[in-house]
Structure 1
Amino acid sequence: MLVKDRMTPNPICGTLDMPVTKARDLMIEKGFRHLPILDDEQKLVGLLTRGTLLKALPSDVSNFSHFEISYVLGKIKAHTIMIKDMITIEEDTPIEKAAQIMADKHIGCLPVLKEGKLAGIITDNDLFNIMVSLLGANQTGIRIAVLQPDRVGTVALLTNAIAEAGGYLSVNVGYYPEEPPDSWVSVCKVKNISKEALVEVIDNLENMKILDLREI
């Protein structure tokens, strides 16, 4: 899965001289938290976020009326408060790389480029939706987590054994646990098999341990 497969293409953008009040109203109306800013040549030059908008407010808003705050913000242009030193990503980047960048840099979105032009935007909400899809949160079945050695062929051994017993794997993902070392946890969503039969399958496999088993 690549960034271009899950990004929002051709996002709504603002301009350098857009008043902050207009940017704020646009973000509220459309329900998004990030607004790319383009120059006259349609080149990405900045990014407005809800955080940058909050920083534009007077330090003690309690001393100002709503009208006064709107008046002050109306005088401020996007180019004066936008994030200029942005981190961007290419549209053919693997989705896990985008997630790693956003986690490491503690940012909520990445503008996506194609041949130097803004092609889309991907956000932390997009990553949450991808996680829901990958983990099969909307799929019914038996969810099982199995601890196994991190060796060639062990995942195939597990999935083949489940399939041979009549189970259908709608989800098969995994992760490296902190302990024990040299191990792997397979997380599967299985249909067409009973919990008892699934437990029996795993119990007959060497060096595999059920960590969690539940019907969803």
Structure 2
Amino acid sequence: MQLAKGDGPVVLAFPTPIYRHHWPASGDLNEALKTLILARRAASPSTARSNVGGWQSGHDLMSWGDPRLAELGQCINEAFGAAMEAEIGTRAFTCKLAITAWANVNGSGDYNRHHTHANNHWSGVYYVDLGQPDPGVIPNGAIEFLDPRPAVGVYDLPGVQSVSTWTIQPVAGEMLLFPSWLRHGVLPFRGSGERISIAFNLRVGDLRLQAGSS
């Protein structure tokens, strides 16, 4: 049971966080990751999970041995720390954090079916390259989140907007982090070039607040 906090006139019941982080100086990192991912694609067949078309690597990306992956790991840790601070009110904690990550390459017409990431706590995606999307298609290759409230579409209340999906059109160098139970997918990419991203899961174990942080 969770008691409602605050004395204001509005209580936001059951909100679902989607955290956004952007690293504007990530151009060199993105070029290195793009080269790494395309070389791996040339040497390895695609796995088949939520992807329809395109190429998806195995879930061992963080162990590929390239030194630039350590920089990506730092970005993931920063996003995780910010999310946990928003959730528990502090970064003064220790935990065991298990990270699995994989690369996605989508060409024109490729997309990802709606899905969740079972047995994890946080999931995320980092955008390496968006290709050259057709400006006449909006949204284009965007990530789409499904409203987790099962009864939201039971009726339409006049004057009140009901939401069934929430779509984010990302930019290169941006990272999203969200609860792993939140159902999501990727809309078809339309354009030239290729849309390259890195998805990841975080599993948190042995979380301990440091003394004086509560």
Relative to the length of structure 2, the TM-score reads 0.23
- Provide TM-score, normalisation by structure 1: 0.23
* Higher fraction of helix: 1
Of structures 1 and 2, the one scoring higher in RCO (CA 8 A, sep 6+) is 2
Could you say which structure has the larger radius of gyration? 1
The structure in which a higher percent of residues are strand is 2
